[in-house]
A = this chain, B = another copy of it.
Amino acid sequence: MVLNNLIQEGDYVILYLSKQKQWLVKVKKGEMFHTHRGIIGIDSIIGLEYGSSVITTLSEKIWLLKPIIKDFILKSERKTQIIYPKDLGIIASWTGLSPGKIVVESGTGSGALTIFAASLVCPEGHVYSYEVRPEFKIIAERNIAKSGLSKYISLKLTDAKEGIDITGADIALIDVGDPWTLVEPMRKALKGSGSLAAVSPTMNQAEKLTTTLQNTGFTNIENMEVIIRDLEAREGMTRPSMRMIGHTAYLTFARKIL
């Protein structure tokens, strides 16, 4: 029996109608949720098991799914482009993000990578994230609170270029417009053999970052793009999706050497 699988007040739940139409909603007594396909009384879902369905006032069936970290990130409040789940997954695999790791990040941005990293290193590990713009730190704090991972994350309103007060980190994450300026401070924060990952929209950034890494004590430097091709699988009519995301960012990986 699965005791912890019932929807409770205060939970976040995905109201799932279709891949394009899904909403991340906080469960509050007495509230009504309005969709273009009818209304749902939130009281009616409290106590249901995740995976159940409800019917809207317009007779549409809505599935109640438990959000995973990807959902919190895709639905997060943002001021800039977030890092896509595809890129997050590859960062996890390539850097060794996993329970217990100590992570340093700059900049926090809207907190997508911060939240993702914390979700994998908790409860023993920790993410220290630096952001220089106060308005971004505020948004990130709200997104982090929603994800329930606040206690595994320390946000700092500081310019990481001027130095990072962490040492011995396992993993360093960079997501700023001039990533090469963070190579030296991140190198100091990392332990020997530690992993660095950076996210760069343009080839020019990846190129300049790579040159800087080569000259600053890193090896095993790799640059790549992650491309997802959706497949529309239907009996006798299977083909790749006609639409796809063309590009998000280059990912750069490296290991610190002594």
Q: Which residue numbers of A lie inside 8 Å of B, CB to CB?
A: 1-2, 5, 16, 19, 22, 49-53, 63-66, 68-70, 85-86, 88-96, 98-99, 116, 119-120, 122-123, 167-168, 191-195, 201-204, 206-207, 209-211, 219-220, 222-248, 250, 252, 255-258
Q: Is there an interface contact between B51 and A255, defined as CB atoms closer than 8 Å?
A: yes
| Bound Cα distance from A211 to B235, whole angstroms | 7
11 new A-B contacts at CB < 8 Å, known A16-B219, A50-B191, A204-B238: A5-B191, A16-B220, A49-B192, A51-B192, A70-B93, A86-B226, A99-B120, A206-B233, A223-B231, A242-B248, A243-B245
Q: Is there an interface contact between B68 and A95, defined as CB atoms closer than 8 Å?
A: yes
Q: Is there an interface contact between B243 and A246, defined as CB atoms closer than 8 Å?
A: yes
Known: A242-B247, A257-B63. A227 touches B229 (CB 8 A): yes
Taking the closest CB of chain B, its distance from the CB of A175, in whole angstroms, is 15
| Bound Cα distance from A63 to B194, whole angstroms | 13
Copies of this chain per assembly:
4
Question: Looking across the interface, which residue of chain B has its beta carbon closest to that of A255?
Answer: B65
Q: Is there an interface contact between A244 and B242, defined as CB atoms closer than 8 Å?
A: no
Chain B contacts for A123, CB-based, 8 A: 99
Taking the closest CB of chain B, its distance from the CB of A49, in whole angstroms, is 5
Q: Is there an interface contact between B207 and A235, defined as CB atoms closer than 8 Å?
A: yes
Known: A70-B93, A257-B53. A233 touches B244 (CB 8 A): no
| Bound Cα distance from A250 to B203, whole angstroms | 14
- In the A-B complex, list the 5 residue pairs whose CB atoms are closest, starting with the nearest: A51-B192, A68-B96, A89-B93, A244-B246, A50-B193
Known: A2-B191, A191-B50, A255-B51. A230 touches B238 (CB 8 A): no
| Other-chain residue from B19, B53, B89, B239 in contact with A90 (beta carbon distance below 8 A) | B89
| Bound Cα distance from A70 to B244, whole angstroms | 23
Q: Is there an interface contact between B85 and A93, defined as CB atoms closer than 8 Å?
A: yes
Q: Is there an interface contact between B206 and A231, defined as CB atoms closer than 8 Å?
A: yes
Question: Can you offer 30 A-B residue contacts whose CB atoms are under 8 A?
Answer: A1-B167, A2-B168, A16-B219, A16-B255, A22-B220, A49-B192, A49-B258, A51-B194, A63-B220, A63-B255, A65-B220, A65-B255, A68-B95, A70-B93, A70-B94, A85-B93, A86-B90, A89-B92, A89-B93, A92-B120, A99-B99, A201-B239, A202-B238, A203-B239, A207-B235, A209-B233, A223-B233, A224-B228, A227-B229, A233-B252
| Bound Cα distance from A228 to B211, whole angstroms | 21
